[in-house]
Amino acid sequence: MARWEPGARERLVFVAVDLFTEQGYDDTTVAQIAERAGVTKSTFFRHFADKRELLVAGQETLGQLLAEGITEAPANASPLEAVAAGLERASGAMGPENRELGPRIKAAIAASTELQERDALKSVGLAVAMTAALIARGVADATAHLAGELGVMAFKRGYAEWAEGDRDEDDHLAPYTLSALEELRAASISLG
């Protein structure tokens, strides 16, 4: 077992998702994850507090990218245009490994109530990051909250479509999230 081998964090995530899918979340131990990833348990705990954290790895970075995109949107951008800038920024950081993980994570989450709860908390955290960035731009509270929630829905819908679609290497996430945001904007108008 190599110590400090590069890519340990990513390997741990991929291995955990595979084990959660194969044998269930509850029946998978940290020791099994570490062993299959070729690292020690102490290396596991250097990267993650517990096995639940594996499926939200990168949440903080994702929230930060969404907020940065919103913050850096042109001053005259509407709240949804700012959210679109956040989605574009965050989507640009997603590569083939994120696309490959999507369906596997979805299957693992679907099989575990605990992971469904953790996934819901992740969505709340992303909405909070976008809402705070919008409020910092001077967007009214209720509008910022609604735009942040629409941003989370657009990201999740776009990511799901992208991850489950054809595996063209030149196919990037941003068009999917932006299209989903536009669909949600149109749907909100139809509410009356």
- pLDDT tens string, the chain, 192 residues long: the values are 444 455 888 889 889 988 988 888 889 999 999 999 999 999 999 999 888 888 777 788 899 999 999 999 999 999 999 999 999 999 998 888 888 888 888 888 888 888 888 888 889 999 999 999 999 999 999 999 999 999 999 999 999 999 887 767 778 999 999 999 999 999 999 887
Residues 155 and 112 in one domain: yes
Whether residue 94 sits in one domain with residue 29:
no
Cβ burial of 179 (10 Å; 0-12, 13-18, 19+) is middle
Q: In the Cβ-directed half-sphere of 33, how many Cα atoms lie within 13 Å?
A: 34
Classify residue 185: in a domain, yes or no. yes
Same-domain check for residues 91 and 170: yes
Q: Check whether residue 48 and residue 115 sit in a common domain.
A: no
Structural domain range at position 37: 8-53
Give CA–CA dist 79/73, Å, rounded: 10
Domain stops at, among 34, 53, 72: 53
**In this structure, is residue 3 part of a structural domain?**
no
Residues 49 and 66 in one domain: no
Same-domain pairing of 72 and 143: yes
Assess if residue 135 is contained within a domain: yes
Question: 30 and 62 share a domain?
Answer: no
Lookup: tokens for 168: 């063209």
8 A C-beta contact, residue 90 and residue 62? yes
Q: Are residues 65 and 48 in the same domain?
A: no
2 belongs to a structural domain: no
Domain count, the chain: 2
What CATH number is associated with residue 20? 1.10.10.60
Is 42 found in the same domain as 71? Answer: no
Q: Residue 145: inside a domain, yes or no?
A: yes
Residue 1 lies in a domain: no
Which tokens go with 102?
Answer: 């999507």
Cα gap 93→113, rounded to integer Å? 29
Could you tell me if 87 and 158 are in contact, meaning their C-beta atoms sit under 8 angstroms apart?
Answer: yes
- Whether 31 and 16 share a structural domain: yes
133 shares a domain with 103: yes
- Is 110 in the same domain as 177? yes
